[in-house]
Chain A
Amino acid sequence: MKNIKLILLAFLSFTMFTGCDTNFEEINTDPDSSTELPAHLLLGYAQRQFTNNMHHMQRGGDMGGCWAQQWSKVQYNDECRYVVRRGVVDGIFSNIYTLTVSEATAMENLAMADGNTNLAAVGKIMQAVGYQALTELYGPIPFTEAIDGSNLQPVYDDESVVFEGVIQLLTDAADMLASGSGSITASSDLWYGGDTNKWWKLANTLKFRALMRISSTRAVGGELQALVGKMMTSNADNAEIQYLAVSPDANPIFEQIIDNNRPEYKIGSVMVETLQSLNDPRLPVYAAPAVSDGAFRGKEAGYGLSTTLPNEALGLTYANISGLGDFYLNPTLPGVTMSYSQLQFLMAEAANEGYISGGLAAANNYYNSGITSNMEWNGVGSAAGAYLAQDGLAITSQNDGRTKIGTQMWIALFGQGFESWTEWRRTKIPALEPAIEADLSQIPSRMFYPTTEPSFNKTNYDDAVSRIGGDEMTSSLFWQ
């Protein structure tokens, strides 16, 4: 019987042992990730993801670039006829929030806790970049209640609230950077290598762009004028990522067309004709000679419904339409978020409209500077002088200025699909016809909200949709 007692005791202690394990907390701690992180490590991630997302060929290319009619496709043309892949549209919303804005918000919070106000300001700028892109693509979006894990169903704020919020973020950021403390780790900053002065200029530049975007809705002159002299001064101030030679950190245009073998991306006919009419040296940079006969030939937007693509009879073939130029197929082509050139065109417009001082003369100066800096960026800066000297290029009146500035900005935004579509939606310059055989009777004015929002955030989604008159790609946004 002694044996039995011993065995039972051993058994009992085994069962007792299994009942109360004390190190479960340790077992359930991930050894491969950290609860703390140096804030600056989030910066490069937010920049890279945002740039990749906006330049992604199925996003900024198929939609932005095609809708602004800078690009066209000789096959698989649905998006260019405004038949979108909802999953792709969903992805843009998702990526900007979860891969850029949430990182930027976390970075601001972590940097503030460290007392690094410069880095915190950069976090605000990155948030502003993300939110502005979102509201321009979709309209009302969650802003005041967004990126808050305790509120899983944030309200959709009106576009004006988002824009004012973005402007406030940029104002605060510029103020913090003007008198900030702390450094931005150079290796983590893909735009400016940690140069706080350039970040300060960017905050002001982006604020200028945001104000211009809503300039038809409220007075912006005073705020714009206050920014003059505090903004980008050359292409060296561009907010752009210098992409690398190989995937997956190469330019998305290269990755899609060359690496992924999608040669159906071609140049649009409006772009080719516009450049030709201006004797523009950027034509051979933007486009490659057609394989069939060496000519520069673009394709009109559309086709692909009743006219199948590619189409020998209409000459809409891979060989007959110009592809993108080698410059744009270079893997290391920078991915631009904001350029000095675009700022110059916006300032030209502001001067032309009288928002900032200087009148027509200043408008012409900014306009010339925009063209020159863009040509420099495209590697044909030496041709700028002769180009500008051509008859009819200079702005002669306010009305003339509107068309010419808009057209030149549209040309200069080549390769920035969403940005060029967004500026076109605002200026409607140059005059563009909806795509042939399109699914809509107009060029889209916005994108569908994600298909998942009616499920995930129904009340707020429904409310937002009613405010813009329906979740349609033709619903008008307030700044348009």
Chain B
Amino acid sequence: MKVKNYFMMLVLLVFNFTGALAQEKTISGTITDQSGLPLPGVNIIVKGTTNGTQSDFDGNYSINASAGDVLTFTYVGQKNVERTIGAANTINITMEEDATALDEVVVTALGIKREEKTLGYSAQGLKGDGMTEARESNISNALSGRIAGVQVTGTSGAVGASSRIVLRGASSITGNNEPLYVVDGVPINNSSNSFDPNAPAQGNAGSGGSGGGVDLPNGAADINPDDIESVQVLKGPNAAALYGLRAGNGVIVITTKKGNANKKFGVSINTNITFSDPLLLPDYQNSYGQGGDTSYFEFVDGASGGVGDGVDESWGPPLDVGLEFIQWNSQLNGGQPLPWRSYPDNVRDFLDTGVNISNNVSLSNKGFRLSIGNSDQKGMIPNTELKKITVGVSGSLDIGERMTASMSVNYINTDSDQLPVSGYNNENPFQQFIWSGRNVDFQQLRDWENLPLAPAGTPAAGTPLNWNHNFQNNPYWVLDTNLNTLEKDRIIGNVDLSYRITDWMTLSAKAGVDQFSQLTTNRQAIGSNNASNGTYNEVQRRYEEINASALLNIEEKITEDIGFSISVGGNHMNRERHNNFAFLPGLQLPDLYTLSNLQTGATASILSQDINSRINSLYGFGQLSYKDFFFIDFTARNDWASVLPVENNSFFYPSVSGTLILSDAFDMSGTGFDFLKLRGGWSKVGGIGALIPYRINQTFGLTGTGFGSQGFSPNSQSNPNLKPEEVTGVEVGLDAKLFGNRLRLSATYYKQDSKDLLLPLQVTQATGFIQAWNNVANMSNKGVEIQLGGTILENDDFRFDIDLNWAKNNNKVTELGGLDTYVLGTQWGVTLEARPGNPYGDLVGRDFERAPNGQVVYANGLPVIDNTQKILGNIAPDWTGGANFAIKYKNFDFSALVDAKWGGDVHSMTYAWGRQTGVLEETLIGRETGVVGSGVMADGNGNFVPNNVVVTAKQFNQATYSNSVESSAIFDATYVKLRQMTLGYTLPKKFLKNTPIQSLKFSVVGRNLALLYKKVPHIDPETGFSSANGQQGQEFGQYPSARTIGFNVNLKF
């Protein structure tokens, strides 16, 4: 803003003095940008004078100057151009984008644009272009590896999978540890609003978990990547002080594309088609088939009527050695024995090729932009899909001289007829692959409509034939029949009115809304293994958040050197949710999924839920500047939050930060520094953390049962003495650019303390409660973030850039209300816990008994389990980093992105169960000879000697890997991924000369191309059952990550 004003003053001066000059001629011309579009608003100054002008809407200019004068053309974001006036009276200029522009404008709190160089905290961003080419349908994933300290966890390769982002570590025990997403100044909901089958019709229905459930896209995934102009990541509480209590985990500021007020009619078309296959699958063994008897197998009914047919394990007879047995598919050939053979690719062949087609058309004219997009995703898991339609409209209007009105609205429709179930659940086909016979060709089950039915009397009776009827259904039938649907309509929009009262005072008012209505349904057909009577679940959610704010902005120069700006304003936030849950535990008629189809005698669970809250805020912020190289920023905010007790619901918090641009303050020419800045800040942010509405007064609940309505006392203790929590942060950093911007460095150190964290403290159930709300926990985070960029080579045709980022965060739970632990999540015997003195996310479970030298103690050849609960690992990584390589050669551009997460642990039940069931490669060891486990055994005299007892491979694996011991399935989750590669070609302008086409770019793109390094076997260490806190660091039946390859065409008229 300051820069603009400065130029305006210049321009005024120029007009005042032009009349006085003589011996001049009029130079005129047109200024265009690199794509040939006219560029209005370019400043043209006769060098060394105050004589200047600006180009008009059509890029035309004229200025009076003398031959020999030098004209300087400057425009924000473009390289300066200088031309000496000769004989010609026309000088046309094509300006070039300046990729290393220092005065990069970033969007910060409340949508206010600031020059990046004046910011006292770390803010890093991405341009929208990078998101449309190598497209991630979930924009959260697009941030992976690009920005220091942004830890992204994509949960799986399933369509609609959520993604979790944590900036600078967890700051809350049970609250949302993810940043606040803000679109065009309006906070949006980023929750998944998923279905949890373990709590059907429950108010707290969470998302996908270790026992099943459908992981729905996180809210930010609704945003159309084609509409994104830029994404700015504000990491610390400093940056976030102005978003108030919801911003303690940082803010992701998304700015959508707008019609340029000065540009003429333009059309942009983008088409993206990609294909997905699994990045990796477990390494299965292919030498032994189904059953428990190594010599014989016979399928009779798939439910133990034969030999080995009721077992879903692979400890049976050897494969591919000429044996023939009656198998499940013998039922298709008249009961004849079939070769007992392996199908090494049976899991890969089960999957389809995923296809994702996205199209977007946008029209813009003057200040208006209309964008229509659709994306059609077909998943690798058969029959899974997700469709999305987005419409974005934005526009601005000048009303008279002083008033400007602008608005933007995005409508998003998300629709899926089938999303897959995660975790340990019969509906997850990967559960079946782990509990399976390696002799099964799953593909043959695909045509289930023409298969006979499972025999009467077996658990799967009435459903299509499968290789096992005790524990499994035909997996294709499950995916085709047991549908999990999603239909979501969402509107995110805002209206902004701004009135320039005087030259130095502006008043603006803004109203924003985020509203959605979402219907999810979940079907289980009669005969389903975990719901033999069938079930039907329907959840309708309505969400509305309205923010209304007003801001008065004053900006003035006190002296030539000292400027100040100050803004004061207020915000009124009102959020209302209404959810209806209905669950039929049994169906009367088959294949009819509607709430009236209730099995006779069964009782439907129905529940309605309202969750309403309000936050009012008053705030002020301002900046003092000295000579454009020293800046002090301050903020102050007071929030009133309805979820707190009335007497404690008001809280105030301030922040201050300073910036010193050394390269402007001192002459640093000759030192190599083009730019050097020091920055630092302190902030305090108040918050309500995990606190949800209605936790002040105790209430009773009601539930409908087959026995009638019943009441219950609450399991969560309310607390009328709750108060706000507090996050205090300090950060210092420097930004430098050297050697003609060839080397770019940004480094930040931060320290952040969270205090009085509100949480539902877990208490002994002997109190009658499971949890009690209180302000009890403290947590600290400190860390370093470094971004280092270098232009390795640069000439007219060629440019090679490397950008590296690296971040390390040390998190520690410092206090937990006197407790030793808080359990965040569980899977089988492992718990994910927060423990004082440790980083957030300990994996706790059982280990084997150990001899004094640490070796496993065996008895009778089998390892002895120690029943005490021990810390076996922690999910927090040691560091995260990324490296982006970009090469431009003439009209080609190439980029490759590698990202890494180093350290942190994961507990893999795929590994534990896969060894228990004999399907994994490692279970081949000792199948014929037996196994002597590595460890010691007691010699009877109180000493240990090496274990020398031979046991069978089955005994060894089943005793070592199971749900009775966890340490044998804990692995280092380190990974290095080739996250992305793109190769683009922009058609040279000369080919487009006589066409209406302005630009045409074709790219070949790939995402998640390779796991370059990892330590955990069989699975992708980047995993989670959902984006929720408690679902991290645990794995079972992971849907393989999608390796995506495709192309993108971008056409502009």
Which residues in B have their C-beta under 8 angstroms from that of A261? 459-460, 470-471, 529-530, 532
Pair B693/A98 contact, Cβ less than 8 Å: no
Pair B707/A244 contact, Cβ less than 8 Å: yes
Other-chain residue from A33, A86, A148 in contact with B829 (beta carbon distance below 8 A): A86
Q: Give me 29 A-to-B residue pairs in the complex whose CB atoms sit less than 8 angstroms apart, sorted by A's number.
A: A7-B507, A18-B571, A19-B616, A27-B613, A27-B693, A28-B612, A28-B693, A33-B702, A35-B697, A42-B710, A86-B869, A87-B826, A102-B768, A102-B769, A147-B766, A152-B764, A154-B766, A187-B708, A245-B600, A246-B601, A247-B585, A248-B585, A263-B310, A291-B305, A306-B861, A308-B958, A450-B765, A452-B821, A454-B820
Which residues in B have their C-beta under 8 angstroms from that of A14? 550, 570
Pair B602/A246 contact, Cβ less than 8 Å: yes
Is B1011 interfacial (CB 8 A cutoff)?
no
Instruction: Map CB proximity to A onto B611-637 as digits: 1 under 8 Å, 0 otherwise.
Output: 011101110000000000000000000
Closest to B472 in A: A261
Other-chain residue from B293, B599, B952 in contact with A246 (beta carbon distance below 8 A): B599
Which of A276-284, A342-350, A353-361, A455-463 touches B? A455-463
Other-chain residue from B530, B599, B608, B767 in contact with A154 (beta carbon distance below 8 A): B767
Pair A45/B530 contact, Cβ less than 8 Å: no
Q: How far is the CA of A34 from the CA of B711 in the complex (A)?
A: 10
Pair B470/A263 contact, Cβ less than 8 Å: yes
Closest to B598 in A: A246
> Known contacts A41-B702, A48-B710, A456-B819: does B646 contact A25 (CB below 8 Å)?
yes
Q: How far is the CA of A85 from the CA of B830 in the complex (A)?
A: 11
Instruction: Map CB proximity to A onto B947-974 as digits: 1 under 8 Å, 0 otherwise.
Output: 0000110110011001110000000000
Is A378 interfacial (CB 8 A cutoff)?
no
> Known contacts A44-B707, A153-B764, A452-B764: does B550 contact A11 (CB below 8 Å)?
yes
Q: How far is the CA of A18 from the CA of B215 in the complex (A)?
A: 37
Which residues in B have their C-beta under 8 angstroms from that of A94? 765, 770
> Known contacts A35-B698, A36-B700, A306-B860: does B766 contact A263 (CB below 8 Å)?
no
Q: How far is the CA of A311 from the CA of B294 in the complex (A)?
A: 11
Is B572 interfacial (CB 8 A cutoff)?
yes
Pair B862/A103 contact, Cβ less than 8 Å: no
Which of B7-15, B248-256, B712-720, B801-809 touches A? B712-720
* B539, chain A: closest CB distance, angstroms: 15
Q: How far is the CA of A456 from the CA of B770 in the complex (A)?
A: 10
Chain A residues 347-405 with CB under 8 Å of chain B are none
Other-chain residue from A4, A306, A451 in contact with B501 (beta carbon distance below 8 A): A4
Q: How far is the CA of A319 from the CA of B302 in the complex (A)?
A: 12
* A288, chain B: closest CB distance, angstroms: 12
Is A293 interfacial (CB 8 A cutoff)?
no
Query: Given A44-B710, A105-B768, A263-B303, 12 other A-B contacts at CB below 8 A?
Result: A4-B502, A11-B550, A31-B610, A85-B963, A101-B768, A106-B713, A142-B766, A148-B767, A152-B763, A305-B955, A452-B823, A456-B763
Q: How far is the CA of A99 from the CA of B705 in the complex (A)?
A: 15
Pick the 8 closest A-B CB pairs, nearest first: A318-B304, A102-B768, A41-B711, A261-B459, A249-B706, A142-B766, A455-B820, A30-B694
| Residues of chain A at interface, number, CB under 8 A | 93
Other-chain residue from B310, B507, B711, B860 in contact with A310 (beta carbon distance below 8 A): B310
Chain B residues 763-791 with CB under 8 Å of chain A are 763-770, 772
Closest to A472 in B: B867
Q: How far is the CA of A458 from the CA of B599 in the complex (A)?
A: 47
Is A132 interfacial (CB 8 A cutoff)?
no
Pair A151/B710 contact, Cβ less than 8 Å: no
> Known contacts A37-B711, A154-B767: does B703 contact A45 (CB below 8 Å)?
yes
Which residues in B have their C-beta under 8 angstroms from that of A15? 550, 568-570, 618
Please tell me the size bucket of the interface on B: 35 or more
Other-chain residue from B303, B499, B762, B769 in contact with A7 (beta carbon distance below 8 A): B499
Pair B767/A149 contact, Cβ less than 8 Å: yes
Is A223 interfacial (CB 8 A cutoff)?
no
Is A38 interfacial (CB 8 A cutoff)?
yes
Which of B296, B614, B643, B768 counts the most chain A CB atoms within 10 A? Answer: B768
Other-chain residue from B570, B823, B826, B963 in contact with A18 (beta carbon distance below 8 A): B570
Which residues in B have their C-beta under 8 angstroms from that of A87? 826, 829
Is B49 interfacial (CB 8 A cutoff)?
no
Is A78 interfacial (CB 8 A cutoff)?
yes
Chain A residues 267-315 with CB under 8 Å of chain B are 291, 305-306, 308, 310-313
Pair B304/A141 contact, Cβ less than 8 Å: no
Pair A312/B293 contact, Cβ less than 8 Å: yes
> Known contacts A28-B694, A147-B768: does B599 contact A249 (CB below 8 Å)?
no
Pair B768/A32 contact, Cβ less than 8 Å: no
Pair B768/A98 contact, Cβ less than 8 Å: yes
> Known contacts A99-B712, A305-B862, A317-B304: does B772 contact A24 (CB below 8 Å)?
no
Pair A24/B640 contact, Cβ less than 8 Å: yes
Is B204 interfacial (CB 8 A cutoff)?
no
Q: How far is the CA of A161 from the CA of B829 in the complex (A)?
A: 34
Number of cross-chain contacts by CB at 8 Å: 267
Closest to A24 in B: B642
Chain A residues 132-160 with CB under 8 Å of chain B are 141-142, 146-149, 151-154
Instruction: Map CB proximity to A onto B286-301 as digits: 1 under 8 Å, 0 otherwise.
Output: 0000001100100000
Pair A19/B618 contact, Cβ less than 8 Å: yes
Closest to A47 in B: B707
Is B1049 interfacial (CB 8 A cutoff)?
no
Q: How far is the CA of A83 from the CA of B530 in the complex (A)?
A: 25
Other-chain residue from A11, A30, A319 in contact with B610 (beta carbon distance below 8 A): A30
Closest to A320 in B: B304
Pair B869/A32 contact, Cβ less than 8 Å: no
Is B678 interfacial (CB 8 A cutoff)?
no
Closest to A148 in B: B767
Which residues in B have their C-beta under 8 angstroms from that of A4? 501-502, 505
* B649, chain A: closest CB distance, angstroms: 6
Pair B768/A247 contact, Cβ less than 8 Å: no
* A299, chain B: closest CB distance, angstroms: 14
Q: How far is the CA of A106 from the CA of B701 in the complex (A)?
A: 13
Q: How far is the CA of A77 from the CA of B704 in the complex (A)?
A: 35
Which residues in A have their C-beta under 8 angstroms from that of B701? 33
Pair A259/B531 contact, Cβ less than 8 Å: yes
Is B311 interfacial (CB 8 A cutoff)?
yes
Is B23 interfacial (CB 8 A cutoff)?
no
Which residues in A have their C-beta under 8 angstroms from that of B693? 27-28, 30
Chain B residues 545-600 with CB under 8 Å of chain A are 550, 552, 568-572, 585-586, 599-600
Q: How far is the CA of A41 from the CA of B704 in the complex (A)?
A: 11
* A189, chain B: closest CB distance, angstroms: 10
Pair B826/A259 contact, Cβ less than 8 Å: no
Is A410 interfacial (CB 8 A cutoff)?
no
Is A466 interfacial (CB 8 A cutoff)?
no
Pair A245/B705 contact, Cβ less than 8 Å: no
Pair A83/B865 contact, Cβ less than 8 Å: yes
Is B995 interfacial (CB 8 A cutoff)?
no
Is B307 interfacial (CB 8 A cutoff)?
yes
> Known contacts A18-B570, A246-B533: does B711 contact A42 (CB below 8 Å)?
yes
Q: How far is the CA of A33 from the CA of B529 in the complex (A)?
A: 35
Is A190 interfacial (CB 8 A cutoff)?
yes
Q: How far is the CA of A308 from the CA of B599 in the complex (A)?
A: 40
Is A29 interfacial (CB 8 A cutoff)?
yes
Q: How far is the CA of A149 from the CA of B603 in the complex (A)?
A: 33
Which residues in A have their C-beta under 8 angstroms from that of B715? 98
Closest to B529 in A: A261
Instruction: Map CB proximity to B onto A31-75 as digits: 1 under 8 Å, 0 otherwise.
Output: 111111110011011001000000000000000000000000001
Q: How far is the CA of A30 from the CA of B471 in the complex (A)?
A: 42
Is A93 interfacial (CB 8 A cutoff)?
yes
Which residues in A have their C-beta under 8 angstroms from that of B869? 86, 451
Chain B residues 194-251 with CB under 8 Å of chain A are none
Chain B residues 1-51 with CB under 8 Å of chain A are none
Which residues in A have their C-beta under 8 angstroms from that of B601? 244-246
Pair B303/A154 contact, Cβ less than 8 Å: no
Which residues in B have their C-beta under 8 angstroms from that of A98? 715, 765, 768-770
Is A164 interfacial (CB 8 A cutoff)?
no
